[in-house]
């Protein structure tokens, strides 16, 4: 197997890093990745809030 055939790791994004040297395409990709991550975090928060509401309802009914 050739090393060129291996998948390339995604570059790590660091919150708060200097954006000045990034091109427009890089900034657009970064924004899309952040939007996707925000959606993922919101979905997890909603799942946890739903579970908590169900637990609260269970304990309040008794």
pLDDT digits over 6-59, tens only? 877 766 889 999 999 999 999 999 999 999 999 999 999 999 999 888 888 888
Number of helices followed by number of strands (H, E) in the chain: 1, 0
What is the Cα–Cα distance from 18 to 14, expressed in whole angstroms? 9
Say what the pLDDT of residue 2 is. Answer: 75
Q: What percent of the chain has pLDDT over 90?
A: 58
* pTM of the predicted model as reported, rounded to 2 decimal places: 0.65
What is the Cα–Cα distance from 16 to 19, expressed in whole angstroms? 8
């Amino acid at each position: 197997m050739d090393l060129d055939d291996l998948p390339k790791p995604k570059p790590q994004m660091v919150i708060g890093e200097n954006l000045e040297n990034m091109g427009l395409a890089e900034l657009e990709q970064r924004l899309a990745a952040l939007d996707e991550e925000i959606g993922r975090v919101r979905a997890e928060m909603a799942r946890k809030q739903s579970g908590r509401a169900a637990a609260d309802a269970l304990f309040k009914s008794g």
